[in-house]
Structures are given as structure tokens and as C-alpha cells.
Structure 1
Amino acid sequence: MFNNYVKIALRNLWKHKLFSFINIFGLATGMTVCLLALIQVKDALEYDTFHPHADRTYRIITDVTTPQGDVTAVATSPLPLAEALQKNYGFVEKTARVYYNLSGEITAAQKVLPADGAFADPDFYTLFGFRLLLGRPAIEPRTVVLSQQTAERFFGKANPVGRTLSMKDRGSFTITGVLATDKLKSHLHFDLLASMASVPLLEQSHQLEPHLTDWKSHWTTSTYTYVLLREGTARQSFKKALAAISAQGVQAMGPKADQSYTLRSQVLSGISPAREELRNSTWEPTLGGLLAVGGLALVILLLAGFNYVNLTLARSLSRAREVGVRKVAGALRAQIVGQFMAESVLLSMLALGFAYVFLTAMELLPSILRSTQTVQRDGTLWLFFLGFALLTGFVAGLVPARVLSNYQPVQVLRGQLGPKLFRGMGLRKGLMVAQFVVSLVFMVFVAVMYQQFRYMATASYGFDRENSLSISIASKDYRRLAHSVSQLPGVQRVAATSSPLGFHSGFTRLSPDRNRNYIPSNMYSVDRNFVDNMGLTFLAGQNLPRSVSDSAGYFVLLNEKAVTALKFKNAQSAVGQLLWLDDSTEVQIAGVLQDFNYQNLSQPLRPLMLRYQPDEFHYLNVKVEPSARVGVIPALEQAWKQLNPHEPFTWQWVDDELYNHHLHLDDLSVSGLLVFMALSIACLGLLGMVTYSTTTRIKEVGIRKIMGANVAQIVTLLSRDFVRLLLLAGAIALPLGYAAGRLFLHEFAHHIDISVGLLGSCLGVMLLVGSLTIGWRTYRAALTDPVKNLRTE
């Protein structure tokens, strides 16, 4: 019997080629997105499964509470925490810290390449399951282990153990081993791991800030603490210990701790996927992201399922006699249901094959998919795929099978069948409207995303971004390089800064009355020329002094927000006032700047301080004559090579950097692909319905043409009902798309307004594509010869 079901299904698919193509292509498109979601979910569940004691290893995270009661969860914790836990609590078996403060340009084997690294405790190599391929762990001072990929980047196939590498501001390290990390999925990413024993030496030589015993630092920056509890330890005991040690840490910070800090634990096996949003999070996928991708995939697959249901029910009258004859011949309803379900499952399996082809083709689009290469060799994933395809076929075929198998043979064979289900705004029309509603909502949302990202990339930030060049430098040699660059033709001014504007800044706290009433403030380390290069406007006071001595750091510049937060009467009254920083440093306000957006436009404008701190300079900002924009780069590179022959010349135009950083082309390409898929599926379904409708009315068309109707009248007659459905879909989708766009824009402090023009453009695109689909098919039907259509009558 099953063989008969398959044969009949294949014959029906071949007989109705257009409908079969629409169903298979639509299901394959939807399945492709669902398979991508399955791959991501499987990857997320495989994170950190290779560690030996993941069920009793915990990461310590911090809850930071402001005086206003706002709580921020942070994945990091203080550096002294691990030692305090190990020393004072017997149920703590081992601790390990990962201190991310070892990133930059690495020099080894006559190569200079960027790398991201961290310092790690000796117990890191026993808590975590990273396997040593060569050598031994990095335990002694100034030793380091490399990841397998990093070792190959620098040394190829040669054994790197015993060789040395060096890093700006960190000195030289001896390589003791190589870790296997290439096939492991972990929330921790690193190119190299140095010994934690190196940190005291680097702090003593001022190559690192002194944080090793400082409870105040690294509550919210770059230290991750992991604890292995002894077997049988109650989680409640550990919770009480963390509460006690949180209080001790806050007390050690002194009276300037204007925020409260509490510690809690997160089991290692539960880090991925992330159930909550953490500041300073690591590289684990988030549950919200997986749900979003899965939801979009299911919506697109649902659209394809609508096509199948629609087209199958539309052809129900032509298959009604088949059902009637089978029932008269003795077929049970279950057998008829089985036949239609077999057709649906077979179509779903064919769609799976095409979906795999699409999935393989997406390997050429690394920005969209980076995991398809694992599909071919992952048997478990293929079982998921097959099961998913069977489930899809079953669900898609359930409604048509139940409806078609319910026909009464007497009514069918007498020609009395006229199901009320399809009259007026029946199921078929409702499903078609739903398809275009979803497509238009997607389109509006992506259009809003694009407009917002473009606004962030091109908006006026309040500083001069034109003809400014950022050059990455080492702070110790910036003066020589700045002097050399300033002599080049076409260079107007050279300034130094800790970071380019428009991205991220440093952080400090300010007080007008020493040790009390501290306010949080962002901070940049800059020299005098930076203000002129960026075209910043003074409201009161004057620029930083020209002196290059450390005494120049006594003077600072503030923005308007800082003046207001410090409760000065106005900008003029703030000039000359003394301030105290959170490290008890005394400074004086030299001038007040007009507010400008110095960070991402998603952030609200906050207090800002500019201060001369040459040890923090990491970039030169070069102001270039507009006419010299092209020719100045070779000259800059030559000047760089004379002073830094072994280091790469890294530069970026400020306006280009802002544009590329904020436009998010990868996200837009993925979103655009989803819109294209949804609209394609909806238009294919519309094409199928129009084709079937014109086919069933072909004799009516012939009679009307003989009676004198022209092509335009025939096209209008056949298409007006479908155009009404498109307009109805637009009326439903535009408010929903507007609401979705507003929800997205709510995440940005500075955002666009959703204009009528944007909504109208999206509606116009949908109507244009839908009308072309309708018009092409109805125009062909209107051109048919009426004699051929009526000669059988």
C-alpha cells in the first residue's frame, strides 16, 4: 500500500508541475532558514561540554546596584576574589582567574600580528578541558601558551615551545606549550594565555595598572573568576559565602563606594546559551538570539506551509472525484488520509534535498552562515534534519488531508460539492493575506533598521569628522612620531588621544567637594591639539595648556552635561573650580565644551572629561588638507617605517570608520535575505492561486471575449479580487510594522522618525511585486484564443 501511495504522489507532483515547484521551492526556502536555526541551536548546546567537572564549576558574576536602585549584571569580578575564596572556605577545591589584559600586536618569528590574550592561573588547566598538544602549562613568570591556530600563524608547522614572543607595553614571554582549541566550542576565546605569576612583575614595572590586590578595580572590567566546589557541597553554602565576601569587598573599597556590589554564581554548564543579558559577557550565544532566529525561521516555514495548504485546497474540487471514486470502491477515510499525507511527506523530503543544496551554497556567504561545513560530517544533525522534514510534511499535509478525505461520495459524484469553507473571506484568502502581512512587516522592520544604521553612520556627531586620520600607536613613542608627521606636506595638525571619538571612552568619577557626591563620567586622554582637530566649541574658559610635562594633567575640560551634573550654576562659573577624581587626584577645570556625541548614538549623552595623560595615548589624530587626502597616506607610512620598521602601519579615516562601524552590513544582509525569502514565498503562493483561478475561469474568459470584452477588462476582472487582498494585507501590516520599528528604535537614545514615505515605499514595493505577479498571469489568460477554450462545449 505504501508503494502505491508513493507512486500516486509522484504522478500528481509530475502532473501539476507548477504547483509542485511552488510547494517544493517554498518549503525548501523555509526549511533552509530552519536548518540554519537548528545548526545554531545545536552549536549553542555544545558549548563547554568538554570540561571535566562542568556540573560543579561556577563562574562568579557581579550585580552592580546604583544609588537609584538600577541593577546591572556583570560577568566579571575583582581580581582578589579567587584568593579570598580559596583561603577562607574549605569547600572550594580550586579557583582560576582569566584576566583579559594581554591584547595587541604580537611579535614572534619575525612576524607582527594582532592577537587577543589573557593571564590565567595554574588551575585553569585542570578546571577546563583544553588539551595540551605540545609542552606544558604556563605557570612560571613571563611564560605563555598559544592556541593551535596562533602557533600556526606565527610558526607554521614548526614546534614553538622554547621560542619567545614580545608585545608592546608587556615585554617578552617564553612559549611553554600549545593548546588544542580549534574544534572546541567555549565561551572563552583566546589566542594566548600567559601565567598569572607574570602580573605582579608587570605591575611593579608599571606595564600593568596595580589591580592584583585592589577590590575596587575589575568589578566590572576584565577579570573572570571560576570556582570548583568539592563534591557534595551545597549550593546554598556557596551562596552565603559569596554574600559575606561581597560585603568584605565593598568595605575594602572605602567610603567612596557609591554603588553596591553583590556576587552570585553561574554553573559552567549553564553559561551557554546565555539566559540573561550580562555586561562584559564572553562569547557564548544568547537564548534571546536563538529564539529570535528560530521564531523568524518558523514564520518563514509557516508561510511556505500556507502555500501548500492553499494550493492543495484550491485543487480540492479537481481531486474530489478521485476521493469519491476511492470511497465508493471501499477505501476507508484513514487510507485516503494516508495517501494525502504520503504526498505531503514526499514533497517535504524533496524540499529537504533542495534546502541542503541552498545550505551548501550559503558557505559562500560567511557573513550569513559560518557553520554549514559541519553538516556533512554530523550524523546527529542529519537525524534532526530528517525528523524536522517529516514533522513539516506531516503538519503541512494534515489540514488538506482531513478536508479532502471528508468529502461524501454521493455529493461528489452528483456534482453537488460546494464547500462553504472557501466562500467569501475563507481559509485560502486568509492564508494569502497572512503571507503578505508577514512579508510587509518584515520589509518595514528592515527598512527602519537600515535607516537607523545609516543615520548613525552619517549623522553629525557635533565634532569634525572630515579629513581626520586615526593612527594606532604605542604611547611611549607618540611625540617623535607626532613631530615627524606634523612636518609632512598636507598635514594641518597632529593630536593624540586614548581612543577615537564615536566609539568607546574611559570611565572615571568626579566630585566637587572631595570624597563626597561623586558623579560617574566618561573620559578621554587628549592633548591640546585634539580639541582643534575635532572642531569642538568652547562655551567658557580655555584649552588645555601647551606644556607636555605631566603637570599639564592638572587641567581638565568638561562638557555641559558634566557641569550640570556637578551642580555648577553655569559654564562660566565652573571654570577655575577644583575637582577630585576617584583616585584622590586633584584637577582644575580649564574650560567647558559644548555638548557633542562622543560615543555611539545608541547611548544617551553623559558627562565627559578631557585630560592630558600621555601614558594613555594610543592613537594619533592627523588633520589633513582636503586636497592632500589621497597623497598623504604613502608619506605617513614612510614616516612610520622610519621610526617603527618592524611594526605594521594601522590607520583609518575617522569618517570611514564611523560609517563602516555603524552601518552593520552583515545584519542588514541577513535581514534582507529573510525579507526576500518571505516575499518570494508569498508571491509564489499568489502566482499559484492566480494560475488556478484563471484556469477554472478560462471558459468564462472565452465567452466574455466573444461578447466583446477587451484584454484590459479581462485582466481587471481576473485580478481585482487579488489586488483587494493585497490592499487588505497592507492595511493590516503597516500598523504592525510601525509598532515593530518603534520597538526597535526604542533601544537607541538618538534615532530616526518612521516617516509616511518609508511606510509608503514598503507598501509600494509589495503592491508592485504582487501586481506584477497577478498581472503577468492574468494577461496571459486574457490573450488566449476563445475558440480553443470553447470548442469542447
Structure 2
Amino acid sequence: MNKFYLKRALTSLWKRKLFSFINITGLTIGLAFAGIIGIYVYENIRVDQFQPERLYRVITTYQSETSASKLQTVGRALIPVIEQEIPEVEHVVPLYKAHSPVKVGDVYYFDNLAFAGEHFLEAFSFHLLSGNAHTALAKPYTAVLTKSAAQKYFKSTDAIGKILMVDDTIAFTVTAILDDLPASHIDVDVLLSFDTWRSMEGDMSRWFVWDMTCYVLLKAGADPLQAEQKIATLSMHYNGDEYRSYGYDVSHELEKVKDIYLHSPLSGFNRALGSASQLYIFSAIGIALLVLACINFINLTTALQADRSKEVGVRKTLGASKRSLAGQFLTETLTMVVVASLLAVGLIVLLLPTVSMWSGLTVDYTVLGSPAVITWGVIVLLATTVLAGTYPSLVLSKLHPVSAIKNKSSDGQKGMGIRRALVAFQFTVTLVLVTCTFICLKQLHYMRGKDLGFEQEQVAVISLAKSPFREVIENYESVKHQLAQLPGVTSVTASAGLPGRAGWSGQLVNPEGLSQGQSFTMEVIPSDVDYVKTLGIRMVAGRDFSKDFVTDASGGVLINETACRLIGWEPQEAIGKGINTSGMENGKIIGVMADYHQHGLQQPLNPILIFSEPYAYNYIALATQGHNLKATLENAERFWKSRFPGYPFEYFMLDDDFDRQYKTESNLARIIGLFAILTIAVACLGLIGLTTYTVVQKRKEIGIRKVLGASVSGIVTLLSKDFVKLILIAIVIASPIAWWAMNKWLENFAYRIDIQWWMFALAGVVAMVVALLTVSWQAIRAAVANPVESLRDE
């Protein structure tokens, strides 16, 4: 950088402190929040990118005459068949969730456990700190720990050869230590050898049990499409008769592991997946915010053209070239961008934890030191300098010397038109974001206020995930009775699923009078007899479960109205009909429940079947009453810890947990709202620039009008009316864009609001009020100025 240019740039910036402050502030905001978005996008797009190109997940597609679905799991028997039949496959790696506590000494730990095939560490590119990747999972009763798990269990990563107990009775020997897993769709703390599961009578011959996640590492040079075509037909080739008897056609696809996190419609292994479309939205917002900051810079710089014109005229008269002047102005821009960048980095480090917590985005500021982030940061810095500095530099360097010295702009109406267009663009972006925020919030309010068909207030749910499961189930009636006796508890139930927590999804159901080929897919929820009572679900036909009827426990079934419609029955007609599903082979419908929302309003009402099955409970729900909920829960905790010492008491409130399903939408509304506020702030800085320029251009006109008797309000109106027109133009442009974007977003909801005209009007009023307040400050200042100063010319 030319030292002369830098010295002139620093002098100029110091001379125009307000101008420099506004410009640097705008650029800092743009760079900081674009940087936060950029880091979030970067952390998402690098998930699993370290995995081999030839590593794939096998997924299952099954369809019948009435439905089609995909699963991230496969039938157990498919795994050995792939090993035997597909020559393109180098390794087949099964992964199976283990829901058991780890015990070290007298302490229980509840982490993510999985039985993993012996080639897991060879197929995946996770970093092994110690141990042998080829043999660590080759034998039964061996385990691999992550670094954090080893530190937690043994206070050291030197844990090879140490023993841990799983499920209180099974001893595993640690054979390797993994570094903590980097960004991946897999989240596990302990890997247990798959041969252990086999040795515990794990049945790998079952085709119709789809509970295994399966990965395949193809051989080098193998054709993925050819391998996929071969794997796709295996299930129907080996088990077609059974699948066809239920009316199903089953096939398989390969998902590249590198693409799962952002592009799979399914889920990860113990981890929620990201959204590519969300990244596109955030990226567009980040770019727009940066562009708006650059537009402000352009408007403010050209607004001070009159202040710089004499300097330009004198320097041109003394022989300065256009190139040297452009270089000087670009150096000023670069200096401000560098200062803004340094401030932005500090702001990013300061705000990242707060923004992450408030928005729900997971962002780690340590990534700021990565080479990729530094490289992109330099690129953005240079791009911002070029974008913000090129036009003002060209405009100022092209001024004619005589006109410049006389303070007569050559920019003319063309330059003013460009600046107005830029401000209109700023407010268009702002109005789109403000309107989208209003609609997001309205949809959230609608979902949270809708009647869900069950009682969700003051229902506390105890999760059995961290409990001695067998002991709880074997003594359930006793546990239930003691919980029901606690003060404030009105009813107790247990079930495999609850509203907001799925039961057995995708279960095949065979109604009476239909062939097996006409099976339906329903959500099946094993529960005890008080499920409907505890949740306050209304019955529309028949009756609820009752202990007075002994047959209810072995054959009683409840279905909802949607299930009746799916089968083709009226509610009263369904009573007494036979219906079968896995776990309930000879069911009889005793009652029909009113429809209730088992899941969030993103999904339509689904068919539900409930039957009694005490060995499939995941939750115990307590309906409470009275004002002292805290005391009720404290009593429940004391009972639980005395009955099951060493095990934690973990609960959640049903209403809060159900609202968890709207976390993505809530985060999106917060994020868009945050950036709407930022774009308004940045756009207001742009208005200050344009108003300043207008006041300078109309200085003599304002002076003449004041001499002729014009009022302050008249002059303010004169200076404001052009900006009102710009806001109206922005409203016209922004409204259809926001309407289209929000309509596309609302398509994701089975139950949604209608977009109404007042939402666009409200956004326009907000933008108009903010703009007028911003413009009025400069306009009033010009209107009350001494007209003699305005009319005087040097």
C-alpha cells in the first residue's frame, strides 16, 4: 500500500470523524453478522467431509398400495447377505443402538452406546488415539471409548485394558480410545463389538425387523450405481413372499455418507441433521446484509462529494491523475474496511456465545483460526473494498477541475438516481425480512395456541432412559400406585410414546375383513390402561381401557378417528372389529378416540392404535393439579431416588416438550427478526447518507424558500417526500417476494395460517415510521439553519 495514500487516507478519515464513524459502524455490523453466518454455514458444510468418498449408508424404501416410506435402517438379514452377494463391497458395517447404562465402580453413566461392526474403525475416518483399528472391535466383549468418555469413566485416556460394566451384568474390556468425534451425523460415546450382540442371542436372520443401521465401504474403483442396483433387489429376492403377503415392495438405496447431514430426508445416528435450504436462506441474508453495508458506504461517500470536490479540483490542477486519485480513495476505503474487519472479529468473538444460545445455532468461535475461514475472511475483505469503494472512487476522480473548485457537481441526476435505487433496494430487503418475521411469528402463535386434543398443562413425564428398566417394568404396578399416592398427582400412566414423542412409527396393521395385502401403516403406542384418562383424550365411540374387563390387557385396542377413516369405518361401526399388529395378534377394538395431535402441526393427523403392553414403556406420565407443582415434583424425586438409588430422576413437562417440535421454526423467526433489525439499522445509516447529500444539493433552494417565508414543516416535507416514494416503491417490490417466500415456507405445515394483506401493511408502516424519523433529523436540522449561510458562496 502506497505510504502517501495511507497517510492521506488517515488524515481524511480523522478530519471527517462523523462520516468515518458511520461508515465503519455500518461495515462492522455487516461484516460481523455476515461472519457469524459464514462460520455457521462453514461448520455445517464440513460435517462428515473427512469421510471416504466410497463410504455409503444403505437405506430402505418400502411401499404399498396406500403408502410409501423411507427408513435409515435395514432388515437385519440384509447385512450378511450384502457381505456374501455384493463383490463391489469391501466392508459392511452394522451399527445398532444400545440403550443401557455404563457402570464403572459404583457410578452409573448414561451415554450414547452402539454395537458396531468389527470394520467400523477401518471404514470411517475417525482419529484413533490408541489401540488397533483392525482388531479393536473384532472380539466379543470389547469396547472402544471416545476421549471424553475415557476421561469421564477413568479420569484418564490411558484406559486400554480397563473394565466397564454394561447393563449392570456384562463386562467389557477397553481395546482402543477414539479422539472425540468431529462434526458427523453419528454421535456415540462408546462402541461395543457387534459380536457381543450376536453372542447374546442376537438374531440376524430376521428380514422384517428393520432396526439396524448399515454402512458399506465400496472397493476402490467400484461403481456405486452398479452396487446400488444389486443391493436394491436383495430384500425382495430373498424375502419377497413375506413382504408381498403384507402388500409391500421393499428396495434399497445408497446415501453417500458425506451427503447425509445436509441432504438426507432421514435422520442421523443419535443426531438431528442439518438443512441445506436453511443454509441457503442464511447465506442470502448474510450476503444481503454485507451488500447493504456497502451501499451505505457508497451513499455516504458520494454524499460528501461537495466536501471533497475542492480537494479533487486543486489536486487535479496540480497534475494529479485519475488513477492516483482513485488509488487514494480506494486506500481510504480499504483502511475503513480493515478497521471494520478488526472490530467485526472482536464483535464475533464477543457475540458468538450469545447468538448461539439465543438463536439455537451451534457455532464454535475456535473455528476462526482455521485456514479456510481466514482465507475466506481475506476474500470478503477485498471484495468489500472493491464493492464499496469502486463507484465512489470513480465518481470523485472523474470530477472536472474547474467544476470541482467551484463546488459544482458533475454527478447530476444520474448519480442521484443510482443512490435512490440503492436506498430502495435496501428497504426492499428490509421489508422482506420484516414481513417474513411477522408471518413466522404469526404461524408460531397459531401452532402454540391451537387445541391439540389432549391435556398438556401440568403433566410431568419421567423418562425411563436412565433407569433400571427391567426393575421398573417388573414392579410397574407398585411404582405406579406409589406415584399416584403423592399429593397433587391425579393420574399416572406409562407408554412407549407420548404427544411429541413417537411410539412405534410405521407399524403394519391388519384390520378385520381385509387381506394382509391390504395392510395399513399406523403409529402404534403400547400403554397402560390409564393413558387416555391421564392425557384427557376424548372418546367418540365405545369405551376406554378398564381394569374391570380382564380381556382389555390381552386384546383390547383403541384407535383414533383418522385410523377409522383410513380403513373406511365409521367410529361406531369399528367397535368390536378385529385388528392385528405386531405385539397384538388378536386385538379387538373397544373404543375410538377423538383425533389428537401426536406430533407437531407440521404433520397431518396420523392414524394411531393403542394397546396394553407393559414391557414396551419408555415414559411414565403424571397428571398433576394444584398450584404447588414444584412440591409435587420434589416428592416424586424423593420417592424415585429412594426406590431406585444411584439412578437420576429426569423429567420434562409435556407442554414444554411438545413445543420443542417448533424449535426450528422458533429459531428461524428469531434469526430473521434479528437480521431484520440489523438491516433496518443499516438502512437508516444509508438514509442519513442520502439525506445529507440531498440537503447539500438543495442548500441554496432551502435558503431561498426560507427567505420567501417557507415554514420548517414545509421544508421537512420537501426533503422527506422523495424518501416516502422510495419506501412505497420498496413495499410494492418486497410484498410479492415475501408472499412467495412465506408461501413456500408454509407449505411445510399441515396446519397453517392464511397470509393476509395487513401483514405487508404493518411491515410497510414500521419501515415508513423508522425512515421518517431518520430523515426528519437531518431535514429539521437543514430547515432551521440560517438561510444566509445557505445562500453565501465563496
| TM-score computed with the length of structure 1 as normaliser | 0.89
Q: Distance in 2 between matches of 1:257 and 1:671?
A: 47
Contact 2:86–2:231 (CA<8 Å) still a contact in 1?
no
Deviates more, 1:635-644 or 1:27-36: 27-36
For 2:459, the equivalent position in structure 1 comes to 468
1:430 equivalent to 2:421? Answer yes
Q: How does 1:150-165 map to 2 (within 5 A)?
A: 150-157=149-156, 159-165=158-164
- Could you say what secondary structure the match of 2:110 adopts? strand
Q: Distance in 1 between matches of 2:308 and 2:286?
A: 32
Change over 3 Å in CA distance of 1:167–1:412 after alignment to 2 = same
Q: How does 1:637-652 map to 2 (within 5 A)?
A: 637-652=637-652
Structure 1 residue 249, shift from structure 2 partner: 5.0
Q: Distance in 2 between matches of 1:611 and 1:438?
A: 53
For 1:574, the equivalent position in structure 2 comes to 574
Q: How does 1:13-28 map to 2 (within 5 A)?
A: 13-28=13-28
Q: How does 1:765-784 map to 2 (within 5 A)?
A: 765-784=766-785
For 2:118, the equivalent position in structure 1 comes to 122
Contact 1:138–1:176 (CA<8 Å) still a contact in 2?
no
Q: Distance in 2 between matches of 1:61 and 1:657?
A: 29
Q: Distance in 1 between matches of 2:243 and 2:571?
A: 32
- Could you say what secondary structure the match of 2:743 adopts? helix
Change over 3 Å in CA distance of 1:663–1:370 after alignment to 2 = closer
For 1:504, the equivalent position in structure 2 comes to 502
1:263-310 deviation line (CA, Å, top 9, x unaligned): 233444x43663453455766644434333222211111111211222
1:610 equivalent to 2:610? Answer yes
Structure 1 residue 18, shift from structure 2 partner: 2.5
For 1:542, the equivalent position in structure 2 comes to 543
For 2:674, the equivalent position in structure 1 comes to 673
For 2:518, the equivalent position in structure 1 comes to 517
Structure 1 residue 190, shift from structure 2 partner: 0.8
One-letter amino acid matched to 1:224 = T
- Could you say what secondary structure the match of 2:508 adopts? strand
1:485 equivalent to 2:479? Answer no
Structure 1 residue 614, shift from structure 2 partner: 0.9
One-letter amino acid matched to 2:490 = Q
1:216 equivalent to 2:212? Answer no
Identity of aligned pairs, percent? 28
Change over 3 Å in CA distance of 1:328–1:216 after alignment to 2 = farther
Structure 1 residue 50, shift from structure 2 partner: 4.7
1:450-494 deviation line (CA, Å, top 9, x unaligned): 222233233210111222221223351432211101112222221
Q: Distance in 2 between matches of 1:332 and 1:574?
A: 91
- Could you say what secondary structure the match of 2:518 adopts? coil
Contact 2:462–2:652 (CA<8 Å) still a contact in 1?
yes
One-letter amino acid matched to 1:615 = Y
Q: Distance in 1 between matches of 2:107 and 2:740?
A: 52
Q: Distance in 1 between matches of 2:612 and 2:419?
A: 70
Contact 2:262–2:275 (CA<8 Å) still a contact in 1?
yes
Change over 3 Å in CA distance of 1:400–1:109 after alignment to 2 = farther
Deviates more, 1:462-471 or 1:694-703: 694-703
Q: Distance in 2 between matches of 1:376 and 1:236?
A: 39
Q: Distance in 1 between matches of 2:598 and 2:13?
A: 61
Q: Where does structure 1 lack aligned partners over 5 or more consecutive residues?
A: 205-209
Contact 1:62–1:75 (CA<8 Å) still a contact in 2?
yes
Contact 1:556–1:589 (CA<8 Å) still a contact in 2?
yes
Structure 1 residue 657, shift from structure 2 partner: 2.6
For 1:86, the equivalent position in structure 2 comes to 83
Structure 1 residue 574, shift from structure 2 partner: 0.9
1:361 equivalent to 2:365? Answer no
Structure 1 residue 313, shift from structure 2 partner: 2.9
1:302 equivalent to 2:291? Answer yes
Q: Distance in 2 between matches of 1:633 and 1:73?
A: 40
For 2:281, the equivalent position in structure 1 comes to 292
Structure 1 residue 388, shift from structure 2 partner: 1.9
Structure 1 residue 412, shift from structure 2 partner: 4.8
Deviates more, 1:469-478 or 1:661-670: 661-670
**1:96 equivalent among 80, 85, 93:** 93
Structure 1 residue 246, shift from structure 2 partner: 4.4
For 1:207, the equivalent position in structure 2 comes to none
Contact 1:453–1:663 (CA<8 Å) still a contact in 2?
no
Q: Distance in 2 between matches of 1:234 and 1:535?
A: 56
For 1:457, the equivalent position in structure 2 comes to 448
Q: Distance in 1 between matches of 2:603 and 2:487?
A: 38
One-letter amino acid matched to 2:123 = L
One-letter amino acid matched to 2:95 = V
1:613-643 deviation line (CA, Å, top 9, x unaligned): 1111121221222344342112111221221
One-letter amino acid matched to 1:449 = C
For 1:274, the equivalent position in structure 2 comes to 262
Contact 1:164–1:172 (CA<8 Å) still a contact in 2?
no
1:4-47 deviation line (CA, Å, top 9, x unaligned): 22223223322322232222222222222332344345434544
Q: Distance in 2 between matches of 1:158 and 1:148?
A: 6
Q: Distance in 2 between matches of 1:430 and 1:699?
A: 25
| Corresponding residue pairs, total | 776
- Could you say what secondary structure the match of 1:224 adopts? strand
Contact 1:345–1:393 (CA<8 Å) still a contact in 2?
yes
Deviates more, 1:732-741 or 1:592-601: 732-741
- Could you say what secondary structure the match of 2:730 adopts? helix
Q: How does 1:57-96 map to 2 (within 5 A)?
A: 57-67=55-65, 74-96=71-93
- Could you say what secondary structure the match of 2:487 adopts? coil
Change over 3 Å in CA distance of 1:524–1:235 after alignment to 2 = closer
Q: How does 1:218-257 map to 2 (within 5 A)?
A: 218=210, 223-249=212-238, 251=240, 253-257=242-246
1:322-357 deviation line (CA, Å, top 9, x unaligned): 445545544444444333333333322222112111
Change over 3 Å in CA distance of 1:264–1:530 after alignment to 2 = closer
One-letter amino acid matched to 1:87 = Q
**1:345 equivalent among 334, 345, 348:** 334
Contact 1:271–1:284 (CA<8 Å) still a contact in 2?
no
Change over 3 Å in CA distance of 1:417–1:469 after alignment to 2 = closer
One-letter amino acid matched to 2:657 = E
Change over 3 Å in CA distance of 1:69–1:467 after alignment to 2 = closer
Change over 3 Å in CA distance of 1:375–1:518 after alignment to 2 = closer
1:495 equivalent to 2:493? Answer yes
- Could you say what secondary structure the match of 2:98 adopts? coil
Structure 1 residue 197, shift from structure 2 partner: 1.6
Deviates more, 1:626-635 or 1:523-532: 626-635
Contact 1:243–1:262 (CA<8 Å) still a contact in 2?
yes
Q: Distance in 2 between matches of 1:505 and 1:451?
A: 30
Structure 1 residue 560, shift from structure 2 partner: 1.0
One-letter amino acid matched to 1:573 = E
For 2:180, the equivalent position in structure 1 comes to 182
One-letter amino acid matched to 1:456 = M
1:401 equivalent to 2:401? Answer no
Q: Distance in 2 between matches of 1:458 and 1:112?
A: 40
Change over 3 Å in CA distance of 1:739–1:787 after alignment to 2 = same
Structure 1 residue 612, shift from structure 2 partner: 0.8
Contact 2:302–2:693 (CA<8 Å) still a contact in 1?
no
For 1:596, the equivalent position in structure 2 comes to 596
Change over 3 Å in CA distance of 1:548–1:130 after alignment to 2 = farther
Contact 1:37–1:297 (CA<8 Å) still a contact in 2?
yes
Q: Distance in 2 between matches of 1:629 and 1:584?
A: 37
Q: Distance in 1 between matches of 2:414 and 2:148?
A: 61
Q: Distance in 2 between matches of 1:37 and 1:709?
A: 49
Structure 1 residue 785, shift from structure 2 partner: 4.5
Contact 1:604–1:750 (CA<8 Å) still a contact in 2?
yes
Q: Distance in 2 between matches of 1:69 and 1:406?
A: 69
| TM-score computed with the length of structure 2 as normaliser | 0.89
Deviates more, 1:462-471 or 1:695-704: 695-704
Contact 2:523–2:606 (CA<8 Å) still a contact in 1?
yes
